Structure 1
Amino acid sequence: MIYFEDIAPGQTQSFGSYEVTKEEVLEFAEKFDPQPFHLSEEAAAKTHFGRLAASGWHTCAMTMRMLVENMSVVEQAGLGSPGIDNLRWLKPVYPGDVLRCETEVLEKRRSRSKANIGLFKSRVRVFNQDDVMVLEMVSNGLIRVRDPDAPIES
């Protein structure tokens, strides 16, 4: 089990493999982001996408799936997230793409009000099968502290 004390700025991980399917792109778009370039090859062909493209929010959902699958392999004492910073969709994601993640811990700190909780920021980058970065964000994570009675460093 990985706790706050086990995380260090500079740590990196590479993981995940998520194949994007046309059916999933259409299903997600129909339900959550029904814009023409996410729903129709013909409509998408008339845009800068050139062809059917996944919603950026769908790309976030696929990223989350890879993050959670990785957390189940490398079990963490995670407590969720208060949000993300600086989300950028850098390139379109298309059916047939295979996505993967790279993360880097940027910083960490203990909660001053709740001694059993630590917070950490990680840069998350998502790449397609051609090693083209398609998404970048900073994730804010909450994680249990192994020893809540240890002094909080200033």
Structure 2
Amino acid sequence: MRYFEDFRIGDVHELGSHRISAEEIRAFAHQYDPQPRHIGRSSEPPIASGWQVAATFMRLYVNSVVNGAAAEVSPGIDELRWLRPVRPGDLLVGRMTVLGKAASLSRPDCGILRQRGELADESGRPVLRFVFHGLMRRRSAESASGGPGSVPGDRAGRP
């Protein structure tokens, strides 16, 4: 389990990749963003919704970072940019960089990571970039509360 203390400013996490298909683009569009450019006009292939591209990043991030961390919730995102269209067959490669760390003012058992999320195509051209914040539990709070990794016994860790 990775805690707030385990993340360092400047850390880069490679998140893996996902090749997007025309079927995925159309299915997402029909359910969430049914604009003609996303569903696909008869003579042109569809272009992925920006929200689908963001959701693709989130899936890669959850699989690579969140599932192995003491993650809580995200208090928000900033600076969301869709930088180029995503088309069927594009391979999207994810990366997260830790930009900053701060104590949570409302949750003393947590810290907030300021992170940059990016997706690029297989040529390395960026398609999505944003800054987001993640609430992460502190290791010391887990031990004090009897949470994962704590020693059985009272709050001081005595048997």
Same fold, TM exceeding 0.5?
A: yes
Question: Which residue of the partner structure matches residue 85 of structure 2?
Answer: 92
Note if contact 2:112-2:135 (Cα within 8 Å) is conserved in structure 1: yes
Q: List gaps (5 residues or longer) in structure 1.
A: 46-50, 150-154
Partner Cα distance (1:42, 1:134) in 2: 25
Question: Which residue of the partner structure matches residue 14 of structure 2?
Answer: 14
Question: Which residue of the partner structure matches residue 64 of structure 2?
Answer: 70
Partner Cα distance (2:55, 2:103) in 1: 28
Q: List gaps (5 residues or longer) in structure 2.
A: 145-159
Q: Tell me the TM-score normalised to structure 2 length.
A: 0.83
Question: Which residue of the partner structure matches residue 29 of structure 2?
Answer: 29
Larger Rg, first or second structure (1 or 2): 2
Question: Structure with the greater relative contact order (CA < 8 A, sep ≥ 6): 1 or 2?
Answer: 1
Q: Tell me the TM-score normalised to structure 1 length.
A: 0.86
Q: CA deviation at 1:72?
A: 5.8
Per-residue CA distance 1:39-95 (angstroms, 9 max, x = gap): 12437x4xxxxx42000000011111100110266x110002112111000000011
Note if contact 2:57-2:118 (Cα within 8 Å) is conserved in structure 1: no
Partner Cα distance (2:31, 2:79) in 1: 25
Aligned residues with identical type, % of pairs: 39
Alignment size in residue pairs = 142
Runs of 4+, deviation exceeding 3 Å: none
RMSD over equivalenced CA pairs, Å? 1.6
Question: Which residue of the partner structure matches residue 55 of structure 1?
Answer: 49
